[in-house]
Amino acid sequence: MTFDFWTNIIEGQVMLSLLLWASILIVVMYIARQPAHQIILVLARSLRNALRLMAQSVMLAEKQLRSRNREVLMAQGQEHAERFIEREFQRVETLVNRDLSGYPSLQRDLKEQITRIDEDYVQSSEVPPKPPEWLKAIEAVANIPDNGSPVVAKILNDIHTTLKKALEKDLQEYRLANRNRHGLLKKMMPYWRSLTSSLNSVERKITGLEQRSIIIDSQMQSYEDIRNHGAYAERMLSSSSLTQFFISGLALCLAIIGMYVNFQLVALPMEEMVGAASYLGSSNIRASDISALFIISIEVILGLFLMDAIGITRLFPVIHLLDDHKRKMIFWIMLSFLFIFASIEASLAYMRDMLASDREALSQLLTGVEVAEPPLRWIPSLGQMIMGFILPFVLTFVAIPLESFIHSSRTVSGLFIVWVLHMLVVFIRFIANLIFGIGRMLISFYDLIIFIPLKIESSFKQKNDDKKEEKISGALTHQQETDEGK
């Protein structure tokens, strides 16, 4: 049925034909008004309910994911706190082993020093000089009245002289003894100082331990908070995780730039080894590029193993669980390999410089331009070699941001998915309400199309209602009059 069929139902009268069809449509729509309204409403409600159900299930998934994120976050935080506490205990152990292992010898030294000081003290004690035995005899003689006798006076003078001499001698002996005592006390001085120094050293060590114990206490507090799934701990861990994600992401970006520089150093000389025209399968990827990428990847992997062997990262639990001897062995093996690769890369960098020079010379020959050899040409060559040697070692440190990135990305990706699910819930709810609104709007639009018959219907209804009201009021009036007549 073409458009002409609809417009030519009355021959040659397009407008009239369309009007006829419109009238038929309006009549049909008016007749089917109630069921049409019901269909639209049921459809809109069903869609809204279905979408609400969908939103609820997405919300449930979001809730579960949120809970999983929380668990992951707490587990990571717990692991981190355990590692921190473990490290602090290792430091305490080192302190105890280093400082307090010498404690018995220190105690022995202190005892020896105290014994010496004690001996010197005993020796330096002052013994008061005994009074001479004959002092009483002299006193008795001195009390003898002289009665002017020259003999007695002479005897007394002799006694006085003798006594004076004896006293001078005693005084000298006493001074000598005192000097000896002072000498002994002077000898005690270094022992005192040594003793003070030993005690200060003990004090310092004890203070260091005390500080470590304060840090451990603080970490234990955080650890307990994490174990109790505290809200504060969750907020802190979440914030820390986001920070870690962005910082490690930035560090990885820088590392990738470093890898690109490394790649540029290696790619050209690799063409010389594997050929510039070798490609990977039917693709456009050069085999030399893949080889260069492979060398750099190997260096990065060696760096990861090296960092795990030292214990800085824990990307490979197998390495971490090995005993110290084996880990040390792995460390030396990885370091040797890295050294070999760094040497290879340095030589490749030198070869790159040679090839670039050769290419430049050919280019000059082809263009017919003669350019003099620049002075100090060896500096860039040497620089490239050094870079080629150092970069593999620098790339080993990629392991640290990589580990942080992997750990934090679990949390961050979880948070991102939660956000996406939340937005999805909002969107589904919006769509549900929109569909219901559209359903109601369609009903109104439906009524708008058939507004003429609806208007006619309402005016008929109005008239009928008026008539009924008149009848009722007439009957009531008649009843009232009858009642009044009675």
Partner 1 sequence: MNMKVIATKALFFTLSFFLLLSLLAQHGCSKPRVKKAVYVLVDTSGTYNQQFDKVQIVLRYLLGSLQSSESLALARIDSESFNEKNIIARMTFDSRPSMANAQKRAFLESVEQFGNNIQSSQYTDITGGILQAIEYLNETQATEKRILIFSDLKEDIKKGQVRNFPISFDGIHVVAVNVTKLKSDNVDPREYQKRLEQWSQRVEQGGGYWKVINDLNHLSQIIE
Binding site for partner 1 (CB under 8 A): 79, 268, 271-272, 275-280, 282-285, 314-315, 317, 355, 358-359, 362-363, 365-368, 406, 409-410
What span, in angstroms and rounded, lies between the C-alpha atoms of 82 and 84? 5
Q: Of 7 and 409, which CB lies nearer to partner 1 in the complex structure?
A: 409
Q: How far apart are CB 220 and partner 1 at their closest, in Å? A: 22
Question: In terms of CB distance, is 269 or 439 closer to partner 1?
Answer: 269
Please, what is the minimum distance in Å from the beta carbon of residue 1 to partner 1? 51
The conformational region for residue 148 under phi > 0 = left, psi -120 to 50 = alpha, else beta, is: left
> Shortest Cβ distance from residue 268 to partner 1 (Å)?
7
Query: How many angstroms separate the CA atoms of 135 and 286, rounded?
Result: 122
- Closest to partner 1 by CB, 67 vs 473, is 67
The nearer residue to partner 1, 159 or 293, going by C-beta atoms, is 293
Judged by CB, which is closer to partner 1: 40, or 300?
300
> How far apart are alpha carbons 427 and 91 in whole angstroms?
54
Q: Could you tell me if 255 and 401 are in contact, meaning their C-beta atoms sit under 8 angstroms apart? A: yes
Name the CA dihedral angle for 137, 140, 141, 147, rounded to a multiple of 10 degrees. 180
Q: Is the Cβ–Cβ distance between 237 and 226 less than 8 Å? A: yes
**CA-to-CA separations, 423 to 69, 426, 430, in angstroms, rounded:** 17, 5, 10
What CA–CA distance (Å, rounded) separates 266 from 349? 6
- CA proximity to 347, closest of 385, 290, 316: 385
CA distance 414 to 346: 43
- Whether 187 contacts 116, CB under 8 Å: no
- Greatest C-alpha distance within the chain: 194
What's the closest the beta carbon of residue 350 comes to partner 1, in angstroms? 13
Q: How far is the CB of 392 from partner 1 (least distance, A)?
A: 19
Distance of closest approach, residue 317 Cβ to partner 1, in angstroms: 5
The residue among 71 and 158 lying less far from partner 1, judged by its C-beta, is: 71
The least CB distance from residue 288 to partner 1, in Å, is 9
Residue 327 CB, shortest distance to partner 1, in Å, is 16
